[in-house]
A and B are shown apart, each in its own frame.
Chain A
Amino acid sequence: MIISLTIILFCQLVGEVIARGLGWPVPGPVLGMLALLTILGLRDRLKEKVPGLGRTLDSTGKGLLAHLSLLFIPASVGVVQRLDVLAAHGAGLVAALVVSTFVTLVVTVVTFVAVSRLSGSSMAAADEAGVGEKP
């Protein structure tokens, strides 16, 4: 597990160094995600030569993701510092958030499904290929 954590943190470090070093407007952890993807691809290539390489990586990563909600609490509690703004503009902000989230969900899902049908990459095609679907 400690090796897996080291790999994940190393990927984040690489991402931060690239993003900040080159002054890219891309968040470091997003580049770190790309770095980990590369490592996972390499792992499968080398599996026969080095058995057990990065074996616990999947379980460690999924452990982190299983409690993703927890990680948002500290930043969100910051609401206690902005109660005055919320009191003054609360109704408008809530209206903006509710309307915008609703519209964004509908527009995104409809675009996805429509383009997916047009380009022939529907869910049925994915099912036939027998990939995806995890319990």
Chain B
Amino acid sequence: MSDQAFSLWVYLSQTPLLWLVVTLGAYVTADRISQVFGRHPLCNPVLMSVAAVALVLWTTGTSYPVYFEGAKFVHFLLGPATVALAIPLYENRRVVLRALVPMVAALIVGSVTAIVSAVAVAQVFDMPRSILISLAPKSVTAPVGMAITETLGGDPALTAILVMLTGVIGSIMVTPLMNALRMKDWRARGFAVGLASHGIGTARAFQVHSLAGTFAGIAMGLNALVTALLLPLVLAWLIG
């Protein structure tokens, strides 16, 4: 590399601009590929984008903190997007209020199942305590899951990855699984994927059906709330 090209790279790689463009570019490309394949569950935009960005970081020898300096502007929008979930919720308020009883039941049963089943399988593999703690909130939206892990003495960065993988796994699984179970209730389908797979599951639900997306969004919000309250108790009972 010539001196000029090198100093240009040094400049670009340290500004937010380059990593913002890389993040958006990876997403736009991945979203287009997903569209071309008719939103096939295996063509998950998040998974493809993360692989592409990780490859760029690896080939250019860029560290994650440097990348995040730029990408944090996108990351910040998670908060406002969570707030904006109120809009489809308000639009569908009549359907939602009608489903209040099944929602509360599914919420409590599902939330405890998500924690207990993950930790139980991991215990079979004899994992250290800090990994078990980081795994437990894997069905909760990333910012909340990371906060829970931090309070309990786990590894928040590991939680972020496990949360992402859970989202991708759930959004790949949900449509074929629900079809196989002959579930035709869009509210129940959406609620299940939002509870099990937070925002990535909600994004998938919105691609399939707007009512499913609405219930997924509600489940994501409520599960964040319930898991934050229940997880310390359940974990104390599971791993002491």
Give the B-binding residues of A (Cβ under 8 A): 5, 8-9, 11-12, 15, 25-30, 32-37, 40-41, 57-58, 60-62, 64-82, 85-86, 89, 91-116, 119, 121-123, 125-126, 129, 131-135
Question: B166, A25: Cβ atoms under 8 Å?
Answer: no
Given known contacts A27-B144, A33-B86, is B110 in contact with A113 (CB within 8 Å)?
Answer: no
Is B234 on the interface with A (CB-CB < 8 A)? no
- A-B residue pairs in contact (CB < 8 Å), sample of 29: A9-B83, A12-B82, A30-B224, A32-B79, A37-B90, A57-B87, A61-B87, A65-B87, A65-B217, A68-B203, A73-B27, A73-B74, A77-B71, A79-B164, A80-B64, A92-B125, A95-B125, A100-B138, A101-B166, A101-B173, A102-B173, A104-B195, A108-B192, A108-B219, A109-B191, A111-B102, A112-B103, A116-B101, A126-B187
Q: Which residue of A lies closest to B75 (CB)?
A: A74
Query: Which residues of chain A are within 8 angstroms of B147 by Cβ–Cβ distance?
Result: 27
For residue B124, which residue of chain A has the nearest CB? Answer: A92
| A98 touches which of B131, B169, B178, B187 (Cβ 8 Å) | B169
Contact of B102 among A12, A101, A115 (CB under 8 A): A115
How many angstroms from the CA of A134 to the CA of B90 in the assembled complex? 13
With contact pairs A37-B89, A75-B75 given, residues A108 and B109 touching in the complex (Cβ less than 8 Å): yes
Task: For B133, list chain A residues within 8 Å (CB).
Answer: none
Cβ of B161 under 8 Å from chain A? yes
Q: Are the CB atoms of A85 and B131 closer together than 8 Å? A: yes
B49 within 8 A of A: yes
Knowing A27-B147, A93-B135, A115-B101 touch, does A73 contact B49 (C-beta < 8 A)? yes
B117 in contact with A78 (CB, 8 Å): no
Q: A105-B192, A108-B106, A112-B103 are in contact. Are A68 and B161 (CB under 8 A)?
A: no
Tell me if B101 and A119 are in contact (CB < 8 A). yes
Quick check: B94 and A132 within 8 Å, CB to CB? yes
In angstroms, Cα B186 to Cα A131, docked, is 13
CA distance A74 to B196 in the complex (A): 21
Give Cα distance in the complex from A126 to B131, angstroms.
43
Beta-carbon contact of A86 and B161 below 8 Å? yes
In the assembled complex, the Cα of A113 lies from the Cα of B167 at a distance in Å of 22
B78 within 8 A of A: yes
Q: Is the beta-carbon distance between B196 and A68 smaller than 8 angstroms?
A: no
Residues in B with CB closer than 8 Å to A64 are: 77, 80-81, 84
- Given A27-B144, A74-B68 in contact, is the A123-B184 Cβ separation under 8 Å? yes
**Shortest Cβ gap from A50 to chain B (Å):** 18
Given A77-B71, A109-B183, A116-B102, A8 contacting B80 (CB threshold 8 A)? yes
How far in angstroms is the closest Cβ of chain A from B109? 5
CB neighbours of B13 from chain A (8 A): none
Q: Mark B168-198, 1 if CB is under 8 A from A, else 0.
A: 0110011001100101111111011101110
The reply to whether B105 and A111 form a contact with Cβ atoms under 8 Å apart is yes
> Is B125 touching A96 in the complex (CB atoms < 8 A)?
yes
In contact, B83 and A32 (Cβ under 8 angstroms): yes
> Are B26 and A123 in contact, CB atoms less than 8 angstroms apart?
no
**Contact, CB under 8 Å: A121 / B102:** yes
Evaluate contact between B122 and A93: CB separation under 8 angstroms.
Answer: yes
CB under 8 Å from chain A, chain B span 4-28: 23-24, 26-27
Query: CB within 8 A of B88: which of A41, A65, A79?
Result: A65
Chain A contacts for B92, CB-based, 8 A: 131-132
